[in-house]
A and B are shown apart, each in its own frame.
Chain A
Amino acid sequence: MGQVGDMMNKAFWVLAAVTALMFAYAPVAIAGAPYESTMLLVQKIFYFHFSTWMALTAAVVICGTGSAIYLFKGSATADRLAFAAAELTVVFGAFGLVSGSLWARKAWGHWWQWDNRLTMALLLELVFIGYLLVRKYGGPGAEKLSTAMGIFGAATAPFVYKSVDWWRTIHPKTSVMRSLGTTSPEMWRVVWFCTFAFLLLFTLLLVVRVHLEERRAELDRLYLEAEG
């Protein structure tokens, strides 16, 4: 067990170093990527904007699945994963909304537009803020209550993704991304480099956050032992 723990520790720090290097290189890669013809410089927000929503999708899926597993099987690990993922959803979502807003101000002229994709994304963020509020203020048994938020939030997420395809909105459609491999391979490479870096960062943060929950659970156990 000690050997596995050491290996995991080492793996964590190796991954952390790799992530740091990737993020250090990212601005260079982004600067070298070709300009998009209509939006020029400000479009370069896209690389992190898209990546953060990818990380958010991973977080939402983990939160939803973890919540469901905790609700039906009672697994404490699943609950910790769900909690950590919910917090990361809020963090990455906040960056997604702010970066999108800054980009929109330059590209569309408004900070915010009530089109479907943005509205649904904002709602998703609110759902997971609600998750965190339930955890904090729900009193005893709040873990179970928050699973409802996690599961419903995860169920709403596919609508966020598909909303731009069903209704013509001001936000770019999903087909833009899917055809980027053919329209601009250089952009494609940078996008996936950034996305990979973000997913690595997400994994690292998730591990650290779950570690915090595990220590908290350990502390609770010690308190119970001390009283009993």
Chain B
Amino acid sequence: MFVKTALLVLKKDFTIEAKSGEILYTTLFFAVSCVLIFAMAFVKEGEPVDGAGAGILWIAVFFAGNLALGRTFERERYAETLRALLLAPAPRPAIYVGKLLGIVLLLLLTELVLVPIVAFLFHVALFTRPLFLAALLVLGTIGFASVGTLFAAMLVRTRARDVMLPILLYPITIPVIIAGLLGTSALLQSPVDEPMAILWIALLICFDAVFVTLALWMFEPLMTE
């Protein structure tokens, strides 16, 4: 029942998104614009600043993620579908998981496009250890999206929701970005620093476990009136 509900919610979001592609394309374009803006800031005499590539990748993902979260739940609010979902006789945590999976997939697609662009523009050897990088990105995205989905859902009815989401989300998810960033930097060292990367991956797993558990635990009481 739980898995079925989650997958149904995911399928719903996917179907709507597949028809218009609105959120995916706007998020992608915003992420690429972010990278370009950072390119202006972090390029000295035609050469990108050392170590800037990893940071820019993660910042672009987080900014784009914030936008995607806002847009996804704005769509829910506009059509009052969130209330309909909550009224349905489905386990609430399953609804949360369904929405979380949707956001994670959206962000992973964005990262799929961003990583080559960043590697290309900033001369960063991001493909030396693709599995480690993938692990870092997936775990980091899950960590960010788990808190983001919870906060975006709970802020849906608030007046100042657009500005409150980043204010509340970033302090809590900055540890995730730090872990992801330092792990990526470890992968970009000249002899790849694998133990460090593994350490950061382990830490990300810890964060994800804590955040997802807390979010699952808190989703139902937060969404009830």
B interface, how many residues as a size bin?
20 to 34
Q: For chain B, what secondary structure do more than half of its interface residues adopt (helix, strand, loop), or is it mixed?
A: helix
Whether A156 and B172, one on each chain, are in contact in the complex, defined by CB atoms closer than 8 angstroms, is yes
A107 part of interface (Cβ distance < 8 Å): no
Q: Mark B153-176, 1 if CB is under 8 A from A, else 0.
A: 011011110001001101110110
Whether A159 and B222, one on each chain, are in contact in the complex, defined by CB atoms closer than 8 angstroms, is no
B130 to chain A, nearest CB (A): 27
Q: How far, in whole Å, are A139 and B175 apart by their CA atoms in the complex?
A: 29
Q: How far, in whole Å, are A120 and B174 apart by their CA atoms in the complex?
A: 9
Picked from A71, A124, A138, A159, the residue with its CB within 8 Å of the CB of B218 is A71
Contacts of A155 in B (CB 8 A): 210, 214
Whether B222 and A144, one on each chain, are in contact in the complex, defined by CB atoms closer than 8 angstroms, is yes
B35 to chain A, nearest CB (A): 23
A104 part of interface (Cβ distance < 8 Å): no
B176 to chain A, nearest CB (A): 11
- When A141-B157, A145-B158 are in contact, do A123 and B171 touch as well, CB less than 8 Å? yes
Contacts of A126 in B (CB 8 A): 170-171
Contacts of B197 in A (CB 8 A): none
Q: Mark A151-176, 1 if CB is under 8 A from B, else 0.
A: 11101100100000000000000000
Q: How far, in whole Å, are A123 and B168 apart by their CA atoms in the complex?
A: 11
Whether A148 and B171, one on each chain, are in contact in the complex, defined by CB atoms closer than 8 angstroms, is no
Contacts of B174 in A (CB 8 A): 119, 123
Picked from A148, A151, A159, the residue with its CB within 8 Å of the CB of B175 is A159
Contacts of A134 in B (CB 8 A): 164, 168
- When A151-B218, A155-B210, A155-B214 are in contact, do A127 and B164 touch as well, CB less than 8 Å? no
A-B interface contact total, Cβ < 8 Å: 68
Whether A151 and B221, one on each chain, are in contact in the complex, defined by CB atoms closer than 8 angstroms, is no
Q: Kindly identify, within residues 176 to 225 of chain B, every residue whose CB is under 8 Å from any CB belonging to chain A.
A: 178, 210-211, 214, 218, 221-222, 225
B93 to chain A, nearest CB (A): 14
B151 part of interface (Cβ distance < 8 Å): yes
Q: How far, in whole Å, are A111 and B160 apart by their CA atoms in the complex?
A: 34
Contacts of B172 in A (CB 8 A): 123, 127, 149, 152-153, 156
Q: For chain A, what secondary structure do more than half of its interface residues adopt (helix, strand, loop), or is it mixed?
A: helix
Contacts of B221 in A (CB 8 A): 71-72, 144
Q: Kindly identify, within residues 62 to 119 of chain B, every residue whose CB is under 8 Å from any CB belonging to chain A.
A: none
Q: How far, in whole Å, are A81 and B158 apart by their CA atoms in the complex?
A: 23
Q: How far, in whole Å, are A114 and B214 apart by their CA atoms in the complex?
A: 28
Whether A133 and B171, one on each chain, are in contact in the complex, defined by CB atoms closer than 8 angstroms, is no
Whether B210 and A145, one on each chain, are in contact in the complex, defined by CB atoms closer than 8 angstroms, is no
**Known contacts A138-B158, A138-B164, A139-B157; can you find 10 more A-B pairs with CB under 8 A?**
A71-B222, A72-B221, A123-B172, A126-B171, A133-B168, A139-B159, A141-B157, A148-B151, A148-B168, A155-B210
25 contacts between A and B (CB under 8 A): A71-B218, A71-B222, A120-B175, A123-B171, A123-B175, A126-B170, A126-B171, A127-B172, A130-B167, A133-B167, A133-B168, A134-B164, A137-B160, A137-B164, A139-B160, A141-B157, A142-B158, A144-B154, A144-B222, A147-B218, A147-B222, A148-B168, A151-B214, A153-B172, A156-B175
B residues near A (Cβ < 8 Å) are: 147, 150-151, 154-155, 157-160, 164, 167-168, 170-172, 174-175, 178, 210-211, 214, 218, 221-222, 225
